[in-house]
Structure 1
Amino acid sequence: MARTARDRRTRKGPLTYVLRSIAVGYVFFLVAWPVSLVVKETFNHGFESLRVALQDPVVVHALWLTVEIALISVAINAVFGVGISLLLVRYRFPGRRLLSALIDLPLAVSPVVVGLALVLVYNGRNGWFGPALESARFPVIFALPGMVMATVFVSLPLVVREVVPILQEIGTDQELAAQSLGANAIQTFRRITLPAIRWALVYGVVLSLARSLGEFGAVKIVSGNFVNQTQTATLVVEQKYQDFEQSTAYAAAFLLASASVLCIIIVSFIRPKDPS
């Protein structure tokens, strides 16, 4: 019986090959081909474009700023992502479904809208908190804090949506057993909960890192795109391309794409394997 079911699953008909060809063609023309053209344009003259880009202080500053923002955002998302996941799974409270829906909001709302909303709330004298922040000399908009907030907002769901299903799957039996033996909340989390969700957390963190490195719309609104101050790698790609420095733009884009591909490779290795 089991062998028959397995044979039925592995049997390939003409429709299987047609659907497979459509899927491969779709991914090729939508993703692989455009990315390969960026690689081709980058290495048209060997490593010259990369050398010029990495010697350009504007590009170097933008790359380091992007890495800094991404690492800060990932750290924040890891902490609050796990906390929100525990809150959604382990507790029942009024507004729980609303909170779960709000977590998915960054996936549905344009990042440009997110950036504009942050400007309306935190910008100088016109924002809700602007006067207080200005008097405290703590700039948010057109500064690093606003860029981090925008990046955290757009990438938060990637951690939560990976951790929540694992928490639901493992249940609370082991946690209750640990508490009955005298473990406090911190010990229970460190010894029981965290080991159970670690791979889901790593998976969500890697995806969040890839998303943070490539963020454009929200960061462009809240950063002001000031050269050597608040210009990230994605913004420098746009500027270099518009300034007819295409080789430098392609090289910077290649570096960003390489980082994303590396994240995908890491995810493919840590993704749980199908036991079947």
Structure 2
Amino acid sequence: MQKKNTIDAEKINEHIVNWLKTYALNAKVNGFVVGISGGVDSAVTSTLCAQTGLKVLCVEMPIHQDPKQVSRGREHIEKLKNRFANVSNAIADLTSTFETFKSSVDETDDLAKLNLSLANTRARLRMTTLYYFAGIQGLLVAGTGNKVEDFGVGFFTKYGDGGVDLSPIADLMKSDVYALGKYLEIPESILNAAPTDGLFGDDRTDEDQLGASYDELEWAMLADEEGKTATDFSGREKIVFEIYKKLNTLNQHKMNPIPVCEIPK
């Protein structure tokens, strides 16, 4: 599996920052709100937003969060605040809110479905919280999804982390995000951490859930765009390509517009 060429981080940084600033000024808002997870996507997104000079609110929203994720997120926020005077932060501990929700709904004996539904609930509580802050401070919710997550395998929660106003890094592969993160001097603790959505309250990684690494999925996404099929590969490549195609097919409902029943005239 061959990796794609390295991006021109400086030019891409400048392009995204200009795009963000232009969009916000045209929308007549004060700036952006970003949910900080302790991962590279939210760290890069918030740093891009900070460079616009507009207000940037970084929000921590722990729900039974792994302490390592919390510490990485706070390390990034403090560094960002020291670099940019337009950056502020807020903490909304949603643990008790999540527990109240759990006690208010019926559970099921199907643990796989239960755990997935509760994981998605965490993401949707966070989306609601970000829009609360956006509403009272006149901000746009900046999405943190990258290209392989948003348009490849659909690895996001519908109306959770997928519920945003704009997506500054959604045309960048995960490897591009890492390259941009290094250029932006994101903390090493974040750059070296295994990617995780942090929605299950344990140490499972994105690769554990997806069955393939982001480098592998990027390769499969590019191969699919070239018109390749599973029959073109063998061994690990075939396995990864089939994982990609399965997830891409199952999650089309996230990537496509909501179906509308059109009434004939």
Structure with the largest fraction of helix: 1
Structure with the largest fraction of strand: 2
Q: Which has the larger radius of gyration?
A: 1
Shorter-chain-normalised TM-score: which range?
A: under 0.3
| TM-score, L = length of structure 2 | 0.25
**Greater relative CO (CA pairs within 8 A, separation 6+):** 1
